[in-house]
Each structure stands twice: as structure tokens, then as C-alpha cells.
Amino acid sequence: MTDKAAPVHAGIRKWIDEVAAMTTPDRVLVCEGSEAERDQLVRESLASGELIELNQAKLPGCYLHRSAPHDVARTEHLTFVCTEREEDAGPNNNWMAPPEAKAKLTHLFTGAMSGRTMYVVPFLMGPPGSRFSKVGVEITDSKYVVLSMQIMTRAGTIALDHLGASDDFTRCLHSIGDLSPDRRFIMHFPESNSVWSIGSGYGGNALLGKKCLALRLASWMAKTEGWLAEHMLILGLESPAGTKHYIAGAFPSACGKTNLAMLVPPASMPGWKASTVGDDIAWLRPGSDGRLWAVNPEFGFFGVVPGTSRRTNPTAFDMIQRDTIYTNVALRSDGTPWWEGHDDPPPAEAIDWQGRPWTPKSTEKAAHPNSRFTTPASQCATLSPEFENPNGVPIDAILFGARRQRRVPLVYEAWNWRHGTFLGATLSSETTAAATGKVGVLRRDPMAMRPFCGYNMGDYFAHWLEVGASITRPPLIFRVNWFRTDEEGRFLWPGFGDNLRVLKWVLERTEGRGKALATPIGFIPPVEGIDRKGLDISDEELTALLRVDPAEWVEAVAGQEDFFRMFGRHLPQALWDEHWNLAHRIEEMITPSELKGRDLGI
Ligand code: SAT
Ligand code: MN
């Protein structure tokens, strides 16, 4: 770490001086990203209580962080996109005029770092040397944020080297402020490539490289530069015959992206190999070969802890046994963490995520449902050798997935890119604990980007269509749903490693093989199209998983119409056409007597 006097990039120096004048820190430290610097920060965090040491014999380099009890997830209602014209932010974003936002936040940032150290963290999103990578600099007064950024991004000198003399970097200003939700704002300024965030120390609110830069601002850049910044995992699959494919998948937060990215093929599917390129964000660019190429801009994983076990995700479980920061999990008396869904049974007593005594009789959960691990990607045993490839990996299929108990089949395929864009645009999911608010409520989440699209979503859909038109070999697009339940609310599909059975069909389709049946909503596999060797699922159960019930879809189509109307003239006509085509196909499928019954209100 160098103090303020050390030489640093002129543009960064100027910005440091401006921020320091406003926030008045006691000292300014520029991070270089070394191990010694990390060790020093850990020591100081242990002394201040920002980190708690876990059992170092069992979990070397692992620490626990407890966030403030009302600062445990992204706060979407306090997240703004501040563009000159409100229309550019769109109805999908909270909007404030930039001068108003700056004035409001200047007030909150003034003197905010008095008595604190101001850390300057240069970071690189994407592989070094790649012309697709982006540089950001985060100024923060939180050691936890610095330590997390050092895991989640390529931080320090490596970023400055990539930047060189260029002034093209994202200015990310963060202070924990007083951690009050009343004085918490996450403000994005795409037109000046900057983010100001105050009042939260948690996840996507505070690690500004992630959702703020790599999705909200990057989606804006991608629109102008002709590519896509998406909330997608990237998974490599190799068939027993040795054929390699890459799949990208958009799922809302806490819907199993990390588990899918680290998929373990079931024992009954020998010869299949899976590799992990990314678990949360994909930057997709048209290549000169007419394909779409994906890079994971991140350098670590910020995954949901509850439910992570040797059974559900052995790769993740193993990778979090060292050099990991746990946030908001429970602590056992031997200094190891515990959470709901752990392989070990509930401990007789523990300390819960808020530091209070907990026993299995407690009514509250021991770990917060959105508790997280922060782990370097390098610790993932299935990390793809292509992870650092500056050109990324070619994508054969895109999945849109969400949490839907009813209506949506296990898998179906879009007719083409335009219809696939429509499938993404009409994605909706039952909410999870990843954002504040009620859990389990159905909400529209197009492309799983509703909280992360940095501009008007109508324009974003149009951009998807443009990108599709600019490539000659577009990936096939599929909708998947691992979460369909029966009448009793039990999941019909085992999920996890068995998802490979669905992906196998997906890959067969990308290879021009694999049978499919046309339904009003898209192609579904015939029952025999899903490999069930070693899986105890009957024909009836699979039929139920793949069922398309036109009566259920009538309702869905009506809801889509209201949603599309929100975007007014920004919604591309092509999506309206897809909408009316779907409505028409569904209507055709419904028998006259059914229609009559509904018309009569019976
Ligand atoms: O946005 S976070 O980084 O806090 C996690 C998520 O919601 O995906
Ligand atoms: Mn995410």
C-alpha cells in the first residue's frame, strides 16, 4: 500500500484529491493488491472486529464478517440510474437528474470519511491484456470492501498496468456512511462513467465492480459498443465423444447459477466433463467468425452460502475451505461456520449471523438466507482453462431460467434469436432473499436483468435484436425451469447434477441433432429426448414436467401485454409481433368449449 504521496496515474490522482477534499479522510492509501497488503488489512480488521477469525487449522485464511442487521442484501429501491433524460433510464430504473443526485450525495459524502482511512482500489474487470476488459477505481472507507474487491476483481497494480496512460476508467465512490437505510443510495451516472454509493457495506451495493460496473454501467457501454453485458453464468461441457460446448445462462439472483456453473455430472452419465468459466456475469461479444464470445469479467465468486453442501455443490464446498470471507453465517463453538443446508446437522448451540446465541429450537435462522462466501476463482477445482482467455469462449446456447412452481416446462427452445429475445424479455421469477423485500412473490425479471439493466429496457430489448442480427451463427436460446412442483408443492425435477440431462438435449439441438416437438410456446423435447439412465423419473412425471397447458398460458400472455405497454414506443415491434403470435397460437389450441366457458366467466 502506498500513501497519497506516491506517484499514481494523473487522472486517478486528480480524482483522489477531489474526493479527499469532500470526504476529509484521516489518511489515503492506494492499494497495490499484494499479499502483504492483504495480510495487513486482515490484521487491522481482526483488531477492529470487522472480521472474526475462523478456525485456522480447519479453514486456513478464512474469516467471518457480520454486516449490520439491516444491511444484508441489495436494496433496489435505493438504487438509481441518473441520466440526463429520464426516458433513458426507463421505467425499469429509479431515476434522478444527475445534478440533483450529485447534490444529495455530496451532502452525505461531505466529511463522511473523517476519522477513517480512504482506500483507493484500482481494479480490472476481465483478463489482463484483453481489449474487452474495463478498468475501474473504487474509493472506499471499508476494509471489508477492499478485501472483497481483492478477491472479486484483479485489483491493484495489474489494473493500473492495463490502464496505462488512458483516462478511460470508471470512478466508483463508496462510503459506508452511517449504514442507515435512510441515508443509503446507490447512484449510477452512465453518462460520466461513475457510481456513487453510500450507506451500505453489503455485496452488490458496495463491491462496485460487480453489479454497478460489470452490469449496470457495462450494459450501457455495451449498447453503444455493440455487445451485451449480462447476468449470466458461463459453463463448459465436454461430451464423452470429446465435443466441447459452452453455455451461458441468465437466472435471477439466488436461483442456482453458482450450482449450475459448477455442475457435477451424475455417476450414471460417465464421460461427461463440466468446467466453470463464470457464475454471475458474462460479457458477450460478436466475434469475427459470426459467433458470440463470452468473458467472465470477475475474478472470484460471491455465492449464496445456505444450501451449499457436499451433496448440492461439492466443488463450491471444497473451494470455500480456505482463503474465503464468509458473511452473515453462523459460528460453531469450534470456530467453524454453519448454515442451513450444511452437510452437518444443526449444532446443539451456535452463534447466529447477528452474534446472538442460537439453538435448534430458535425460531430464526442461524445463517442469514442471503449469507455469502467470497472466494477466489482460482480455488474452484473445475475452473476452465479458458478462464483467462482474452477472447473468451464461443457460446452455443443461451439459457433463460427462473424460479417458477407452475406453468413453465422444464425446458423449451425458441424458434430463433428473435423469439429467444422474447423468451428472455418475458422471464419472470419468484423472488429470493438476494434483494430486500418479500420472498416468493412473482415478478417480471427480463433476462434476469431487471435490477441490473443500466438503461431503458425497451431499448435493451432492441439492442438484443440488433446483436442477434449482427451475428451469423447465433447461439440457440432456451427457457429452463428446474423449480416446477406438483400439487403438493414437491419439486418434480431433482436439479443440480441431473440438470446435465436437460443440457445434453440442449447440446444435441445445437449440433442439429436431437428431436423436438413444436408447442405454442416453443420446441420441447419428446419424453425419450431426455436421458433418464440412472434417474428414477417415470414417463408420467416427465410428461408433467414438460406439459404446456394452454389455459395457464392465456393468463401469462395477458400479463405480458401489460408489462410490454410500460415501455411505450421503446418496445420493439418485433417483440409485439412475437407476443401476438404466441397469443394466437395459444388461442388456437384451446378448444371452443373451453373458450366459451371462460367467456361466460365460468
Ligand atoms: O448483488 S449481489 O452481488 O449482492 C448478489 C446478487 O444479487 O446476485
Ligand atoms: Mn447475481
Q: Which CA distances in Å does 33 have to 2, 173, 322?
A: 11, 18, 19
Which residues are known to be catalytic? 255
Look at the pTM and tell me if it is higher than 0.85: yes
Reading the block at residue 211, the C-alpha cell is 453489479
* H or E element that contains 250: strand 244-250
Ligand 1 pocket: which of 207, 253, 375, 449 to mutate (most atoms within 8 A of CB): 253
From the CB of residue 434, how many other CB atoms can be counted at a distance below 10 Å? 20
Encoded amino acid at 120, one letter: V
With a 6 A CB cut-off, is 203 part of the ligand 1 pocket?
yes
pLDDT of residue 1: 59
pLDDT of residue 404: 93
With a 6 A CB cut-off, is 434 part of the ligand 1 pocket?
yes
Indicate which residue's Cα is closest to atom 6 of ligand 1.
253
Cβ 476 vs Cβ 417: under 8 Å: no
Start-to-end CA distance of the chain, whole Å, equals 72
Reading the block at residue 501, the C-alpha cell is 440431462
Cβ 301 vs Cβ 258: under 8 Å: yes
pLDDT of residue 302: 98
pLDDT of residue 597: 44
Low-confidence stretches of the chain (pLDDT < 50) are 5, 593-602
Cβ 377 vs Cβ 302: under 8 Å: no
203 Cα nearest atom in ligand 1: 4
Identify the sign of the CA torsion 54, 59, 65, 66.
Answer: negative
User: 549 alpha carbon to ligand 1 midpoint, in Å?
Assistant: 34
Residue 128 half-sphere exposure toward CB, CA atoms < 13 A: 13
pLDDT of residue 4: 52
User: 77 alpha carbon to ligand 2 midpoint, in Å?
Assistant: 17
pLDDT single digits (tens) 313-324: 999 999 999 999
pLDDT of residue 434: 85
Paired strand residues for 412:
479
User: 401 alpha carbon to ligand 2 midpoint, in Å?
Assistant: 13
User: 203 alpha carbon to ligand 1 midpoint, in Å?
Assistant: 6
Indicate which residue's Cα is closest to atom 5 of ligand 1.
204
Indicate which residue's Cα is closest to atom 8 of ligand 1.
253
202 Cα nearest atom in ligand 1: 4
73 Cα nearest atom in ligand 1: 4
Ligand 1 pocket: which of 302, 372, 432, 450 to mutate (most atoms within 8 A of CB): 302
Cβ 8 vs Cβ 161: under 8 Å: no
Q: Which CA distances in Å does 266 have to 73, 233, 272, 276?
A: 33, 20, 9, 16
Indicate which residue's Cα is closest to atom 2 of ligand 1.
204
Cβ 544 vs Cβ 492: under 8 Å: yes
Measured N-to-C along each axis, helices 550-565 and 573-589 cross at an angle, to the nearest 10 degrees, of 160
User: 346 alpha carbon to ligand 1 midpoint, in Å?
Assistant: 27
231 Cα nearest atom in ligand 1: 8
| DSSP symbols for 458-526 | HHHHHHHHHHHHT-SSPPEEEEE-TT-B-TTS-BSS--GGGHHHHHHHHHHHHTT-S--EEETTEEE--
